[in-house]
Homo-oligomer: A and B are copies of this chain.
Amino acid sequence: MVQNKSVIFLASPTEYPVPGEHFAVETRELNAELKENDVLVRNLYLSLDPYMRGRMRDSHVKSYVPSYPIGQPVSGGGVSEVTESKNPAFPIGSIVTGMVGWEEYTLVSGGQGLRVIPNARDSKIPLSAYIGVLGMPGMTAYSSLKIIGQPKAGETIFISAAAGAVGQLVGQMAKKLGLRVIGSVGSDDKLDFLLKELKFDAAFNYKKGSILDNLKAAAPQGIDIYYENVGGEQLEAALDVLNIHGRIVACGMISQYNTPNPYGVKNLMNIVGKRITMRGFIVSDFAEQCGADFAKDVGTWLVKGEIVYKEDIAVGLDNAPDAFVGMLQGKNFGKQVVKVADL
Name A residues whose Cβ lies closer than 8 Å to a Cβ of B: 54, 63-64, 231, 235, 244, 250-253, 256-257, 262-282, 285
Contact = CB atoms under 8 A, between A and B. Distances in A.
Given A273-B54, A280-B274, A268 B64 contact: no
A277 B278 contact: yes
B276 A280 contact: yes
A272 B250 contact: yes
Contacts of A285: 275
A211 to B, nearest CB: 16
Contact of A253 (B257, B262, B269): B269
Contact of A275 (B264, B265, B277, B280): B280
A278 B279 CA distance: 6
A137 to B, nearest CB: 15
Given A231-B268, A266-B263, A64 B273 contact: yes
B63 A269 contact: no
Contacts of A251: 272
Nearest to A265: B265
A162 to B, nearest CB: 18
Contacts of A271: 250, 278-280
A101 to B, nearest CB: 23
Contact of A278 (B63, B231, B278): B278
Contacts of A280: 270-277
A273 B231 CA distance: 13
A275 B64 contact: yes
Contacts of A276: 279-280
Contacts of A266: 262-265
Contacts of A262: 266-267, 269
Contact of A265 (B63, B250, B264): B264
Most buried by B among A265, A266, A280: A280
A235 B269 CA distance: 11
Contacts of A263: 264, 266
The 6 A-B residue pairs with the shortest CB-CB distance, nearest first, are A264-B264, A272-B280, A271-B280, A262-B266, A277-B279, A275-B280
Contact of A274 (B64, B267, B272): B64
A19 to B, nearest CB: 24
Contacts of A275: 64, 279-282, 285
A274 to B, nearest CB: 7
A268 B253 CA distance: 9
Nearest to A63: B273
A282 B285 CA distance: 28
Contact of A256 (B257, B269, B277): B269
A51 to B, nearest CB: 9
A241 to B, nearest CB: 12
Contacts of A272: 250-253, 280
Nearest to A65: B273
Given A250-B268, A250-B272, A262-B269, 15 more contacts: A63-B273, A64-B273, A64-B274, A253-B268, A253-B272, A262-B266, A263-B266, A265-B266, A270-B280, A271-B279, A274-B280, A275-B279, A275-B280, A277-B278, A278-B278
